[in-house]
Amino acid sequence: MVFRKLPGVSASGMGLRLSQKFVFLLFLSGLVTLCFGALFFLPDSVRLKRIFLSKTDTQPVTVGSGSENDAKEHLKRAKDQEHLRGITSGKGETSTKLKSLSRKPSVSHEATEERLAGGKAQEDLTLFRSKAESASERATFSNHGASSDTFSYNKFKQCLLKAPLGREQGRPSDPRTAERRDKVKEMMKFAWDNYKRYAWGKNELRPLTRNGHIGNMFGGLKGATIIDSLDTLYIMGMTEEYNDAKEWVQTSLDLNSNGEASLFEVNIRYVGGLLSAYYLTGEELFKKKAMELGEKLLPAFNTPTGIPRGVINLGSGTSWSWGWASAGSSILAEFGTLHLEFVHLSELSSNAIYKEKVMNIRKLLSKIEKPHGLYPNFLSPVSGNWVQHHVSIGGLGDSFYEYLIKSYLMSDKTDEEAKKMYYSALEAIEANLVQKSPGGLTYMAEWRGGILDHKMGHLACFSGGMIGIGADDGVPEKRQHYLDLAAEITHTCHESYTRSATKLGPEAFRFDGGAEATATRLSDRYYILRPEVIESYMYMWRLTHDPKYREWGWEAVEALEQHCRVDSGFSGIRDVYATTVGHDNMQQSFFLSETLKYLYLLFSDDDLLPLEDWVFNTEAHPLPIIRDSCLQDGGAQDKTVSE
Ligand code: DMJ
């Protein structure tokens, strides 16, 4: 277009006539609208889109870090988290609770995911969708949260069969065992004191640099070590430390954060830790916080299937899948590890919503076709179909199986569906994954669409304990078989420790290329203070009282002391086969919550947190068995349970 200068038109008017100006402005505004509109068609991962569109309008970007569940993903995490950090910094701070609960995913994003994941199970999903949506509507309008006064702590206590802390807080009569237990308590004190001194209020201690670590896993929530330690401090009788922790929860635990969190990690560490602290102590504060946090997690379930996505913004309620999870899928070990905590949230709040959410997941998993009876690790939250046929009892799959048997046990053995699913899964695992090495070691291989990868992760070592605690409840003829299998797996995991220079086990060990329970790749040689092997020692000790489990636990204590204890706390190590170790400068919160707690229980009498009354969540936070009949009867009147 050519603009001719006309007489009587000022320079500021660029020499244009009024009608021309009007056309120009119209053109300009059309252009702006077009550009803005185009933003909606950009892929969600384009940063520009997140900058220009408000949180309530845009769909979450598929970014994120790995779940703690998988060692490999743990390594990928750093890269993804950098991305996450960049995105987080550009976000606004506020969003109302009501908005966050009622938000629904945008159609275009769902459509993309549907295309990627395939739409086979769509008819079935209509059912799941309407259920999930009606449930979330109820979440928006019903009165749930901290105001529950229908739950009676006294009544609950009367329904316990035994005193939670046993006689003399579980102190063993045998002096050598008592001495070992004291040593574990000293380790806890050392880990705690250093955390308190150098990293108070942060998520973890960095013991070499003597500072705190926040990370991105908890969406801006702080004090993970404090929440994870509450019950350990309590059962160890560390009153002063427990009181400091409680006071911090009271004064400084701020749940109004606005960052991207792993739904799984927040659930197992924070919700689990707070619930367990409440049940052990009766302090309303912990219940109130658990309820408040539980409510913030609900929007993650607003997907077409009700299967939650892995990452949730705790402020806005938007949720999305991990960037590394193919085709926007959700991870079995993440959405399958919510059941215990969510059932307790319903129990305490008298609001069924939490239980409905996890029962909906259960329903989908029970109905879906399973290759060879196995549960693959990745599932689309949109179509409800498996995304890949990778199966693992270690990272990405592990605690789903754990929560099946524990759901059954926690329901006072009334949850028959969980029991059935657990035993069928175990049969499929035995038929397809359990292997014997040339040297006679039993291990759980991984399965990649029918092809076996002869590798077992440290994480999979929890399965010795799991198979052990489930042994009593399958068909009676298989009881001994399961106990033997549990013992064999635990033995193999112990071998992975004894075959290293440090007597600590690698992140993953192999059974091919001449390897027998050893790591062959450099990248699998690290140990990050994980608990799973010791966890199985503890359960196997309780089930068999074979003294070797206590001996193996003591070997681990000595190795931890020698290689992981540094001047200002405990640290993971980079290579378990190296004679001079390099430290990773991280005291994981699960070291205090799980590793040290399981060691302490291993050297305690069985009446400290008796298994007749308690199940441990996957972060070792004890949750009580729910005895509905007793609670409905008004409690066991004739029983007096004292501390
Ligand atoms: C813990 O956070 C939990 O045990 C989880 O289930 C798996 N990984 C870590 C410890 O290794």
Report CA torsion sign: 50, 54, 58, 59: positive
Q: Exposed e or buried b for every residue in 121-139, given b needs 16+ CB within 10 A?
A: beebbeebbebbbebbeeb
Whole-number Å distance, alpha carbon 512 to ligand 1 midpoint, is: 26
Query: Ligand 1 pocket: which of 265, 268, 584, 597 to mutate (most atoms <8 Å of CB)?
Result: 268
The residue nearest atom 2 of ligand 1, judged by CA position, is: 619
Tell me: the pLDDT tens digits for 418-433?
999 999 999 999 999 9
Atom of ligand 1 nearest to the CA of 68: 8
Residue ID of nearest Cα to ligand 1 atom 7: 69
- Count Cβ atoms within 10 A of the Cβ of residue 347 and give its class: 0-12 exposed, 13-18 middle, 19 or more buried: buried
Determine the Cα–Cα distance for residues 270 and 278; give it in Å rounded to an integer.
Answer: 12
Write down the catalytic residue from 446, 488, 524, 532.
Answer: 532
Q: 261 pLDDT exceeds 60?
A: yes
Nearest residue to 105 (alpha-carbon basis) of 62, 65, 146, 142: 62
Q: Which of 309, 312, 277 is nearest to 296 (CA)?
A: 312
Whole-number Cα distances in Å, 9 to 1, 2, 22, 476: 18, 16, 15, 99
- Residue from 459, 533, 595 to probe ligand 1 pocket by mutation (most atoms less than 8 Å from CB): 459
| Residues whose CB falls within 8 Å of the CB of residue 448, separated by 6 or more in sequence, listed in order | 389, 390, 391
Q: What is the pLDDT confidence band of residue 23, given thresholds at 50, 70 and 90?
A: low
Q: Please tell me the least confidently modeled range out of 57-61, 258-262, 383-387, 462-466.
A: 57-61
- In the sheet with 390-391, reading across from the earlier edge strand, the strands are 390-391, 446-448, 451-453
Cite the beta strand spans of 458-533 per DSSP E.
508-510
How far from each other are the two terminal CA atoms of the chain, in whole angstroms?
Answer: 89
- pLDDT at position 45 is 33
Please state, in angstroms and as integers, the Cα–Cα distance from residue 252 to each residue in 249, 269, 477, 479, following that order. Answer: 6, 17, 53, 48
pLDDT for the residue numbered 422:
98
Q: What is the pTM of this model?
A: 0.80
d(CA 128, CA 220) in angstroms, rounded, equals: 31
pLDDT band for position 641 (cuts 50, 70, 90): very low
Per-residue model confidence as pLDDT tens digits over 433-486: 999 999 999 999 999 998 999 999 999 999 999 999 999 998 999 999 999 999
Dihedral of CA 110/111/114/119: which sign? positive
Is the per-residue pLDDT at 407 higher than 50? yes
| Residue 265 among the catalytic residues | yes
Task: Say whether 398 is catalytic.
Answer: yes
Give the side-chain half-sphere CA count within 13 A for 350.
Answer: 9
Query: Which CATH architecture describes the domain 95-130+144-632?
Result: Alpha/alpha barrel (1.50)
C-alpha–C-alpha distance, residues 508 and 519, integer Å: 6
Q: Is 273 in the pocket of ligand 1 (CB under 6 A)?
A: no
Give the number of residues written for the chain.
643
Quote the distance between the C-alpha of residue 525 and its chain's center.
Answer: 23
Work out whether the CA dihedral 211, 212, 215, 217 comes out positive or negative.
positive
Ranges 81-85, 226-230, 370-374, 449-453: which has the least confidence:
81-85
Cα separations (Å) of 286 from 58, 252, 290, 393, 476? 34, 13, 6, 32, 40
Give the domain ranges of the chain: 95-130+144-632
Residue 631 has pLDDT above 50, yes or no: yes
The predicted model gives 36-46 an average pLDDT of 40
Residue tagged active-site, from 113, 341, 507, 535: 507
Is 318 known to sit in a ligand binding site?
A: no
Q: Would you state the pLDDT for residue 30? A: 61
Q: Take residue 407 and report the two structure tokens written for it.
A: 């759901």
**What is the residue-averaged pLDDT of the chain?**
82
Between these two residues, 34 and 250, which has the higher pLDDT value? 250
DSSP state of 594: I
Q: Alpha carbon of 346 to those of 184, 399, 621: distances in Å?
A: 35, 21, 18
Which residue among 203, 458, 532 is best mutated to probe the pocket of ligand 1, counting the most ligand atoms within 8 A of its Cβ? Answer: 532
Q: Which residue type does 553 have?
A: G
For the Cβ of 618 lying below 6 angstroms from any atom of ligand 1, the answer is yes
Alpha-carbon gap, residue 608 to 468, rounded angstroms: 19
CA 618 / ligand 1 centre spacing (Å): 6
For residue 171, count other CB atoms closer than 10 A to its CB.
Answer: 16
Instruction: Report the pLDDT value the prediction gives residue 226, as an integer from 0 to 100.
Output: 99
* pLDDT, tens digit (0-9, with 9 covering 90-100), for 324-342: 998 999 999 999 999 999 9
Does any ligand 1 atom lie closer than 6 A to the CB of residue 73? no
pLDDT over 80 (residue 122): no
**DSSP-assigned beta bridge partners for residue 570:** 565
Residue 88's H or E segment, with its range, is helix 71-89
Query: 490-520 pLDDT, tens per residue?
Result: 999 999 999 999 999 999 999 999 999 999 9
Q: Is the CB of 204 within 6 Å of ligand 1?
A: no
